[in-house]
Amino acid sequence: MSIVLACDLGGTSFRAALVDARGGILVQKAIAGPASIDAAGASEIDAGAWWRIMIEACAGLAAEAPELFAAVEAVAICGVTRTQVFIGRDGRQLRPAMTWKDTRSEAAAARLRERLDPAHPEAAAINAFHPLARLAWLREQEQANFHSLACVLEPKDYLNFRLTGRQAGDPVSLARLLAAAAPAASGDLLSAIGLSPSILPPLLEPWQQVGPVLTGLPAPLDRLVGRPVFCASNDTWAGVVGLGAMRDGFAYNISGTTEVLGVMGHEPVRADGLMTVDWRGLFQLGGPSQNGADTVSWLLSLLGRGEEGGIGREIDALLAGPRQPQPVLFLPYLQGERVPYWNPSLRGAFIGLNRRHGATDLAFAVLEGVAFLNRIVLSRAEAALAGPVAEIRFGGGAAANPVWSQIKADICGRPVVVGASKEPGLLGAAIIAFTGLGRFASLAQAQAALVAVASRFEPDLSRKAGYDALFALYRRSEQALAPISQDLSAWPADGAGLVAGAAAARD
């Protein structure tokens, strides 16, 4: 039996599985955390904690299935992106990693844009979530770390480095930093902040080998000595492979802690607010948002239903309740937004509440609000590609909810197809490993052989007129509330006396 170790480092958990050559997950372990430390725009994680939970997850696999773990032939790790691990000349992290939620570099990004040559293709894309802005912030705020910087790694590349001793990355995950390093008439953008392209690790294709597992690693990784570790890519890229959506004319929507939606095509077209990335044979047009299943978790916590029965059962119970005829709108920008607005100052809102509305109405509003954002991204991508997609492949934790799948199909007006694998990221990582091992001639062949479909949701045309009207109100609400969000996000950190006043009143 051919077995690989597939790992998926997500925003809130680490998953590891032993996967066979038919794409079957034989044993799986999920470890929560590590939780990011978030305060005043900062969001940081000690990269060493990722290494520790990887060891913990592998220990769980080895304990449950020792013979299968010993039979592992290769390792592939996909992981969360838009997160930077800063490595010093001694090979150690200089400081905690800055996660995808970190917005501290917003002001640095604005100052940087003023100095950059606007003719450079990447200049307009510099925002608080861009790695170049994070590096500019590091230069301004932590000069010692900036001057000691030797390499910038993605989280999965950090784990590969710990496994193999070799620093490497893939061109999909590092696309934005690579674009900043690209030469132009006025020079590259890295030089503008005093850095050399040498801070980028050597590049490998996702299915190429980083190196063999080192000797001397802690148990149970010591049982994998000499096994090849493949570079892999970010969790979105792996998830798209695991959904079978790495095909021209297909869209994907992966909903985990946050969501990401994109369209695949042969041409490198561009659309306002969307990312165009070379995905090794196809181009992706779309990108990550700041909301998804985490938005549902927030609602359940707000309603005092966050613990009992887990997220899935709780949201199912809410959706089964009675809904009022007048809908509620929800703007899902609880943490600002990346695609398509790239604005960390946007804020969320419920709009249209009346006295008869209850928890069920709020639940539908949250699911519909995220789907409306999906529609904005999809419509911009389809307009750039001059044609509709064949279907949207839907995966991640939210794909287990048929109501949300139907809502997305109805709002986007496209079939939504759910993959058979409940863990498309793990399956995608396994497909990478089997391709790297030579079991398949190409990634496309491996994808065709190992990906299956579980269910298909066609748009309900009876709901089209209602959702079109609600979508128009959603767009008007966005435009009307964006300036208010900007002002509220700039509110003084001390609460301008409001917080202190409330405390005094309680006393």
- Check: CB of residue 228 under 8 Å from CB of residue 212: yes
Indicate the helix (H) or strand (E) that contains 155: helix 155-164
pLDDT in tens, 214-226: 999 999 999 999 9
pLDDT in tens, 123-174: 988 999 999 999 999 999 999 999 999 999 999 999 999 999 999 999 999 9
- Check pLDDT > 60 for residue 502: no
User: Which of the four pLDDT bands, split at 50, 70 and 90, describes residue 40?
Assistant: confident
More confident residue, 33 or 412: 412
Percent of the chain with pLDDT over 90: 86
* Maximal C-alpha separation, the chain: 71
Residue 250: Cβ within 10 Å count: 21
The bridge status of strand 149-153 relative to strand 97-98 is unpaired
Provide the pLDDT for residue 307. 60
- Check pLDDT > 80 for residue 67: yes
- Check pLDDT > 70 for residue 501: no
Provide the pLDDT for residue 61. 98
- How far, in Å, are 228, 248, 365, 390, 488 from residue 52 at the CA level? 20, 39, 39, 42, 39
Which alpha helices (H) appear in 253-401, and where do they start and end? 293-302, 310-319, 359-385
- Check: CB of residue 378 under 8 Å from CB of residue 426: no
- Check: CB of residue 349 under 8 Å from CB of residue 338: no
User: Which of the four pLDDT bands, split at 50, 70 and 90, describes residue 186?
Assistant: confident
Residues across the chain:
507
- Check: CB of residue 18 under 8 Å from CB of residue 416: no
How far apart (Å, rounded) are the C-alpha atoms in residues 145 and 378? 40
Domains of the chain as residue ranges with CATH: 3-233 (3.30.420.40), 247-507 (3.30.420.40)
pLDDT in tens, 234-265: 999 999 999 999 999 999 999 988 899 999 99
The bridge status of strand 209-212 relative to strand 228-230 is antiparallel
pLDDT in tens, 361-413: 999 999 999 999 999 999 999 999 999 999 999 998 889 999 999 999 999 99
| Summary mean pLDDT of the chain | 94
How far apart (Å, rounded) are the C-alpha atoms in residues 461 and 467? 10
Residue 477: Cβ within 10 Å count: 18
Report DSSP state, residue 21: T
The bridge status of strand 283-288 relative to strand 275-278 is antiparallel
- Check pLDDT > 80 for residue 497: no
Helix, coil or strand: residue 74: strand
- Check pLDDT > 70 for residue 425: yes
More confident residue, 291 or 206: 206
pTM over 0.85: yes
Provide the pLDDT for residue 494. 78
Which alpha helices (H) appear in 165-289, and where do they start and end? 175-181, 235-243
